[in-house]
Amino acid sequence: MSWSDLPAELVAGIADRITEHVDLARFRSVCPSWHTASAEHAARRRVPLLLLPSQQNSRVNRRLWSLADDSITETPMPAARGRTFLFASPRGWTLCVADDFTATLLHPFTGASESLPALPPSFHDGYQTILRDVVWDRSPDAIMVSQGKGAFFCRLQGDIGGSWSPAGLPPPARVSSITYCDGAFYLLDKRANKVTAVDGATFAVVAAIEPPDLAMPDRSRVRESTLVVSSAYELLLIVRGGCQGSKGLFKAFRADRRNLAAGWSEVADGGIGDRAVFVDHLRGFFVEANGLNGVRRNCMYVTSSYDEANDNSGWGDWGRYTVSVLDLGDLTTQNLSHGNLLKCLCGRQRPSWSMPNLH
């Protein structure tokens, strides 16, 4: 009998005892029979993890908070030495930017890494806080980044060690979110609620969709927009409105990526079916509520951080991480910042969602 001939019940039992995402990914790659037998366990683990940048920027290991069980684990970040800013993504990759603006792509679940050129000179303004606003995403062949004005790309095949090139965006181009899907990068200007599609090969603008009708019933409300892109040819624009720190859903709009000229149509009752949206300052992305992973359907999980007073040294010396879940059906909001997450202190960096790759 070979290892691939082990009974499926035994393989599943072993998989249930594996706690680390990396170990489970390696376990599932042994052979097709192990991959199949551990499918249910992997489905339970398909829950985003929250990357928690350390208050102590010099530490090598960084923390990951699990939504599933409020646990916190540390993962080694070989590139995260010194004062390094980390920006996660739903495909597992993390962008690491050091204080000298050197950049590295790191996959904490596999250990893979790719060196990038130092970020463009326009990213240098003398203040560390600018790095809080960096947004990015990657395709199989390139990476695109923005610090809020314009966007730059770098090819990952044959261009490593070269320079960043500007994407062909018409000025003034304000970029607050970047998402790659099916050959194109989608850039969102949250202030104008305008979406621009950039070809993933030529980096030229191929389409744009004008903002939907957002006549606010209360002008005192502060709008916060999130763009979600799916492989089912769908764009979803969720606009939340809040007053004096409150959060709530204002409207949700859907567009067909194959025909952006048709514009937006409002989503009835904000419904997204058996899916949830995970939101950080970088982007929003869909996660299937599969009945095993504990993710609530038709909900939006939003993470952020806030400064907290330090009686000894003044304001803003540390902060806390927050996660709240907004039910898009009845518009109720629940704060999930409890237990281990509430104990974590943060520095000047924001948290970001990372999806473990278990395939």
pLDDT tens readout for residues 260-299:
889 999 887 668 889 999 999 889 999 988 887 889 999 9
Per-residue pLDDT band for 159 (boundaries 50, 70, 90) equals very low
d(CA 191, CA 193): 6
For 357, the token pair is: 């790759």
Mean pLDDT, residues 318-333: 84
pLDDT of residue 179 exceeding 50, the answer is yes
**For the ranges 115-124, 178-187, 342-351, the one whose mean pLDDT is highest:** 178-187
Per-residue pLDDT band for 122 (boundaries 50, 70, 90) equals confident
Residue type, 320: R
Q: Output 232 or 59, whichever has higher pLDDT.
A: 232
Per-residue pLDDT band for 216 (boundaries 50, 70, 90) equals low
Q: Output 348 or 326, whichever has higher pLDDT.
A: 326
Among 91, 97, 99, residue whose Cα is nearest residue 77: 97
Please provide the size of the chain in residues. Answer: 359
Q: Is 357 exposed, middle or buried (0-12, 13-18, 19+ CB in 10 A)?
A: middle
d(CA 332, CA 326): 6
For residue 128, what pLDDT is reported?
56
d(CA 193, CA 212): 8
Query: Tokens 């099916």 label which residue?
Result: 182
Mean pLDDT, residues 46-60: 71
Helix axes 21-28, 8-16, angle to 10 degrees: 160
Instruction: Indicate the domain borders of the chain.
Output: 1-45, 46-354
pLDDT of residue 219 exceeding 90, the answer is no
Per-residue pLDDT band for 13 (boundaries 50, 70, 90) equals confident
358 alpha carbon, distance to own chain's centre: 17
CATH code that applies to domain 46-354: 2.120.10
Output the average pLDDT for the chain: 80
Mean pLDDT, residues 227-242: 87
Per-residue pLDDT band for 236 (boundaries 50, 70, 90) equals very high
For residue 246, what pLDDT is reported?
45
Among 270, 234, 265, residue whose Cα is nearest residue 252: 270
Mean pLDDT, residues 172-193: 91
